[in-house]
Structure 1
């Protein structure tokens, strides 16, 4: 997974609260092989009418080139399905800014290169006002924790280890491997000071 520290893209307002993972990708589509891509399933039941046609006024239908969502509270709540993140990533979404996220969704997002950036309620409202119904060119400075739309700049919160993983393109194994020397030193010390704690063949 390639890392990144800056992203320039178009942001759109998607100010719905409590958008859960079943809305992000309905469960009936999850038998589709990952290799076929999940972009067409993203927010399917909100984006399309009963006949399967796109709602012309839905934000992601009006602005298909958008790569940044400004979303409402509790984004990605519900079940732990990682496919919700796949659908966003496959649709070209690089970051979601929201006042809060589902915990498991946020962890899955980082592991797939998607930024789950937390902003205050006041900054969320400010960004929604700035965007209106349009798509504005925006910039994310991941290393500085700053998001800009024109002259408007807001900070965002992100766990430091998640920031490191996104910038370096690391998964959990890559992150753990950065501590390999400490791990080996601990194993050596443990063998010396507490040999009884290990299987006899490993002493």
Structure 2
């Protein structure tokens, strides 16, 4: 995934509470294993409503979504994060999230910002008025072009993943040289820690030579 340090732009003033993953991406879109094109199905039911924020010209292409409490609840489907990313969402601002959705968001390069309801209400006002919002992971702030400034917290490991553009596996692979060096030195000084799996491998190699 790409690295994210700063997201700036207009925002969708959605604000709905208890938005589950079926609202974010309906079940009939889950037949695909590809992430591409899921943005077309994002908030499908909401988009059937006249005047919805997702189809409003003034919010088209916004990289930020402002939502209410418990965003991403319900099913654990990662397709919800895929759909948001495919529609161009890079950050979500809400008072709280489902834990699984929050984790899936980070794995897909989406910043899940937690802010108090008062801050969300103000950001909704700014977004409705066409103002710009900035999410900055370096300063851990959300600011607007109307001189608003809010601070937020994010798990340090998740912040690192987002800023380096790596998921958990990617961060582990980035340390492959150090890990291999440690394991090599550990085996050289304490060969017994390799256990039965190492001994079994040696036995198989020996049997193959006979």
- The DSSP-based 3-state class of the residue aligned with 1:66 is coil
TM-score (norm 2): 0.83
Q: Which of 37, 55, 61 in structure 2 is aligned with 1:65?
A: 61
Query: Within 5 Å, which residues of 2 pair with 1:17-166?
Result: 17-32=17-32, 34=34, 36-48=36-48, 55-62=49-56, 63-131=59-127, 133-150=128-145, 151-166=147-162
2:186 counterpart residue number:
189
Aligned-residue Cα RMSD (Å) equals 2.2
- Distance in 2, Cα, partners of 1:115 & 1:3: 11
Q: Which structure has the bigger radius of gyration?
A: 2
Residues 3-60 of structure 1: CA deviation (Å, up to 9, x unaligned): 1211221113111111010110010121145265111101101111xxxxxx332111
Residues 155-190 of structure 1: CA deviation (Å, up to 9, x unaligned): 122111111111111121111234442565257436
Q: Which runs of 5+ in 2 are unaligned?
A: 203-210
Q: C-alpha displacement at 1:126, in angstroms?
A: 2.6
> Is the 2:35–2:82 contact (alpha carbons within 8 Å) kept by the matching residues of 1?
no
Change (3 A) 1:202 1:188: farther
Q: Paired residues, what number?
A: 196
Kindly indicate which of the two structures has a greater share of residues assigned to helix.
2
Q: Is 102-111 or 25-34 further displaced after alignment?
A: 25-34
Q: C-alpha displacement at 1:78, in angstroms?
A: 0.9
Q: C-alpha displacement at 1:202, in angstroms?
A: 5.3
Change (3 A) 1:154 1:171: same
Q: C-alpha displacement at 1:79, in angstroms?
A: 0.9
Q: Is 160-169 or 32-41 further displaced after alignment?
A: 32-41
Q: Which runs of 5+ in 1 are unaligned?
A: 49-54
- The DSSP-based 3-state class of the residue aligned with 2:54 is helix
Tell me, yes or no, if structure 1 residue 168 matches structure 2 residue 164: yes
> Is the 1:72–1:99 contact (alpha carbons within 8 Å) kept by the matching residues of 2?
yes
- Distance in 2, Cα, partners of 1:123 & 1:182: 43
TM-score (norm 1): 0.86
- Distance in 1, Cα, partners of 2:200 & 2:185: 15
Change (3 A) 1:34 1:198: same
